[in-house]
């Protein structure tokens, strides 16, 4: 993979991270439980968002910690996060999006931070 592609992946991951972090019910992005849930590139790492290429299509994984009570319906939160990620990717990338996976790695309450 070329350095330019890695830089594009970082920019896309950064945009997705910013967009999904603003979704009500998202407390923070997560590094994942057993995987290094991140996009890596020249001089930077975006934790909580994995951008991968499968041929001519993009795949994205988002790992987050939800905040209760804003995220009392975790399935609805995952749907909202997926929609925001898809909109962001459509805006930022000229490639076909194959899938967006959302993993909720934890739940915090009130003002508690992960």
Residue 7 domain-assigned (yes or no): yes
pTM of structure: 0.90
Q: Classify residue 16: in a domain, yes or no.
A: yes
Q: How many domains does the chain have?
A: 1
Q: Which domain holds residue 33?
A: 3-109
Question: CA torsion angle for 61, 67, 69, 75 (degrees, to 10)?
Answer: 10
Along the 114 residues of the chain, how does pLDDT read in single tens digits? 554 465 689 999 999 999 999 999 999 999 887 778 999 988 899 999 999 988 888 999 999 999 998 888 999 999 999 999 999 999 988 788 999 999 999 999 977 666
CATH number for position 76: 3.30.70.1350
Element (H, E) at 57: strand 57-68
- 8 is a domain residue: yes
Is 45 contained in some domain?
A: yes
């Amino acid at each position: 993979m070329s350095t330019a592609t890695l830089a594009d992946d970082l920019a896309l991951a950064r945009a997705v991270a910013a967009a999904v972090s603003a979704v009500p019910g998202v407390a923070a992005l997560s590094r994942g439980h057993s995987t290094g849930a991140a996009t890596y590139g020249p001089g930077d790492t975006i934790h909580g968002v994995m951008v991968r290429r499968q041929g001519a299509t993009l795949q994205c994984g988002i790992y987050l910690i939800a905040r209760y009570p804003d995220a009392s319906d975790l399935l609805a939160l995952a749907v909202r996060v997926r929609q925001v990620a898809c909109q962001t990717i459509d805006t930022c990338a000229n490639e076909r999006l194959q899938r967006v996976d959302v993993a909720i790695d934890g739940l915090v309450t009130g003002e508690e931070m992960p």
